[in-house]
Structure 1
């Protein structure tokens, strides 16, 4: 069958992992864009961002925003992978139907 790349078990695994990735990265993106203090250790701040700036919170908030946007982009990539896995699952079911 044309376009069939992976089997049904791998496609199902891809769907489950994609759903988890979208939920996890979506929540992280929300928490980073709202400047959650718990995630401060995960923000790549430099000394310039904290000590040598006249308005240090604004620079830290900008870095938080960038990390949050990166999380949203990664979640979108997981959506694409999930759609690919879903298409593979449909092709596997179609192949099953045609063989019988």
Structure 2
């Protein structure tokens, strides 16, 4: 069972903390992008050419907002998986510590 252990207790705890922060931040960003927050317009990937060639430009920008929001939710899901992996590493480290004693 110790072969599944690939990081120490401090690194695993750090992974949990960083993952929790990443999930909170990315979920909030995903929500704000999904509701088309005007403050985040600089983070939406569009160009002036996109604005000129598309007659329905507000809808195109809203679509880009939604795509960025979905990407934030996907990244938050990845952070949840990393938090779960880090939690498993913490438990394996504790189990290994008890076996050594």
2:85 is aligned to: 84
Aligned counterparts of 2:57 and 2:18: Cα–Cα separation in 1 = 38
- Cα deviation, residue 46, structure 1: 1.7
Runs of 4+ in 1 over 4 A off after TM superposition: none
Structure 1: state its 5+ residue gaps.
Answer: none
Aligned counterparts of 1:59 and 1:49: Cα–Cα separation in 2 = 9
TM-score, normalization by structure 2: 0.95
Structure 2: state its 5+ residue gaps.
Answer: none
Q: How many equivalent residue pairs? A: 100
Higher helix fraction (1 or 2) = 2
2:15 is aligned to: 14
Any conservation in 2 of the 1:49–1:60 contact (CA below 8 Å)? no
